[in-house]
Amino acid sequence: MWLLVSKIIRQSFIDGPGSRMVVFLQGCNLRCIYCHNPETRGLCSACGKCLTSCPAGALGRQELSIVWRAEMCRGCECCLGVCPESADPRAQWLPAGEIYRRFAADAAFLDGITLSGGEASRQSREWLPLAGWLHNDGKTLFVDSNGMMTAASRQEVLTAADGVLLDFKALDRRVHRALTGVDNLPVLEFMAAAAAADKLYELRTVIVPGYTDAPDSIAAMARHIACLPGRPFWRLIAFRRHGVRGDGTGLPEPGGERMEELAAVAAAVLGRGRIIVR
């Protein structure tokens, strides 16, 4: 099984329990206006527009594909801003076994792998073997998801993954449509299913002024979470314009005082111990 990988972070402490390798998979089914990883959304069409943007000459063409020469790359990311597909020309097809090999090299310092994106569930069939290998080693597999997935992918995620980090963008459907262009009913259904399966580890909400920063909305979201089985963490993430493209570049950023105010609203329902502010 091969996976299209945007990048791999060898060690993270904010993407699930303990110390984890994070694998960002390429391709997403949403186009959130505040997306902080817009280069992971699309798939390369080999149009070639990125070739002349690279000052190091690290990008080339081979037959009908764009080739990234990692040894020449300076990490300037000039290529990302010119792609009409919101793709990353540095994305690579890697066999699941190669991802596991890289994990195994650092396994003594890691508790598991978290699959992120993009949207990790879009490649659920391809990463299923990883779950088995990790479980044989006493390690865990977590999935960071937006919750918009097929019934087959939902079943694979809830069967194979040890936990889910789920985007809870908004409870109000109108706000969710404004942020993503789609309804949030599938997300709420997956949230309920993950909680019922005792797999819902953490919910994540990006606080965007004018969209998701109303105290009444935060209180309603907190009450919704309180009705779920289990006690997932709720991470409130301050929107930052860094990395954002398109209409999202004009959105305001919330201040620290506002974030603490909203955290207090959430904590009044759920308790401070389950609220994380970033």
Give 2-32 pLDDT, tens digit per residue: 999 999 999 999 999 999 999 999 999 999 9
Say if residue 273 is in the same domain as residue 214.
Answer: yes
Task: Give residue 157's domain range.
Answer: 2-39+92-277
Structural domain contains residue 183? yes
User: pLDDT in tens for each of the 278 residues of the chain?
Assistant: 899 999 999 999 999 999 999 999 999 999 999 998 899 999 988 998 999 999 999 999 988 889 999 899 998 988 988 888 889 999 999 999 999 999 999 999 999 999 999 999 999 999 999 999 999 999 999 999 999 998 999 999 999 999 999 999 999 999 999 999 999 999 999 999 999 999 999 999 999 999 999 999 999 999 999 999 999 999 999 999 988 888 888 999 999 999 999 999 999 999 999 999 98
Identify the pLDDT of residue 235: 98
Identify the pLDDT of residue 201: 98
Say if residue 56 is in the same domain as residue 167.
Answer: no
Identify the pLDDT of residue 135: 98
Say if residue 127 is in the same domain as residue 263.
Answer: yes
Say if residue 224 is in the same domain as residue 259.
Answer: yes
Q: Is the dihedral of CA 227, 229, 231, 232 positive or negative?
A: negative
Say if residue 145 is in the same domain as residue 171.
Answer: yes
Say if residue 262 is in the same domain as residue 213.
Answer: yes
Query: Domain holding 52: CATH number?
Result: 3.30.70.20
Identify the pLDDT of residue 75: 87
Structural domain contains residue 187? yes
Say if residue 68 is in the same domain as residue 171.
Answer: no
Say if residue 29 is in the same domain as residue 96.
Answer: yes
Number of neighbouring beta carbons within 10 Å of residue 140 = 21
Please count the structural domains in the chain.
2
Identify the pLDDT of residue 174: 97
Identify the pLDDT of residue 219: 98
Structural domain contains residue 240? yes
Query: Domain holding 103: CATH number?
Result: 3.20.20.70
Identify the pLDDT of residue 102: 97
Say if residue 182 is in the same domain as residue 125.
Answer: yes
Structural domain contains residue 87? no
Number of neighbouring beta carbons within 10 Å of residue 255 = 11
At which of 82, 110, 142 does a domain end? 82
pTM of the model: 0.93
Say if residue 55 is in the same domain as residue 132.
Answer: no
Say if residue 167 is in the same domain as residue 269.
Answer: yes
Looking at the DSSP assignment, which residues form a beta bridge with residue 9?
A: 22
Say if residue 119 is in the same domain as residue 239.
Answer: yes
Structural domain contains residue 241? yes
Identify the pLDDT of residue 246: 83
Tell which phi-psi region holds residue 193, choosing left (phi > 0), alpha (psi between -120 and 50) or beta.
alpha
Rounded distance, CA 10 to CA 78, Å? 23
Identify the pLDDT of residue 248: 86
Looking at the DSSP assignment, which residues form a beta bridge with residue 117?
A: 25
